[in-house]
């Protein structure tokens, strides 16, 4: 059960009526293709992303040729974040990304918030790029504190936008004004 201070609107209903998954399947035995398949719903071979990025080198003594494959998840691929965005959802990618470097980060694939995701295959700490500062998150407690502050900032922005929308001079006149 969610606590009153963090209760999302439909959290308890989701817990009661949601589906519990007890078995899982990974589309590939390595990270990058599996992550791409989860985000897009496609098999790694359809994405032409069949090995971890940057993948294995073709050694001259290898018995099998390593096929050429994508070195990032193509931007033309539609992710679950991109599907949810028009429905009003704000999604976050938290942790390892490893699906491409500059221009191919989570925020380029539809995610509203990116915490720690870049081209590296591991996250030494969760890096949050914020303007104009850059902060490091190296524990679950620090991540939760950051997300709480982020949620608070987003709520403050929403309230400010509503106040501006109904500020004097902009407020709709519901009653006739005396002459």
- Point out the residues that are catalytic: 31, 98
Burial of 40 (0-12, 13-18, 19+ CB in 10 A): buried
């Amino acid at each position: 059960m969610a606590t009153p201070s963090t209760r999302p609107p439909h959290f308890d209903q989701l817990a009661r009526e949601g589906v519990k998954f007890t078995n899982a399947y990974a589309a590939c035995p390595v990270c990058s293709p599996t992550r791409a398949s989860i985000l897009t719903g496609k098999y790694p071979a359809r994405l032409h992303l069949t090995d971890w990025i940057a993948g294995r080198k073709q050694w001259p003594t290898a018995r099998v040729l390593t096929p050429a494959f994508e070195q990032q998840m193509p931007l033309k691929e539609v992710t679950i974040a991109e599907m949810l965005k028009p429905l009003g959802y704000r999604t976050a990618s938290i942790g390892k990304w490893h699906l491409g470097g500059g221009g191919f980060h989570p925020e380029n694939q539809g995610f509203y918030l990116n915490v720690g995701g870049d081209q590296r295959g591991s996250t030494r700490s969760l890096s949050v790029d914020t303007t104009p500062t850059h902060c490091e998150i190296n524990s679950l407690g620090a991540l939760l504190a950051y997300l709480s502050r982020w949620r608070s900032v987003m709520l403050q922005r929403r309230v400010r936008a509503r106040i501006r929308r109904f500020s004097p001079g902009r407020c709709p006149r519901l009653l006739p004004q005396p002459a």
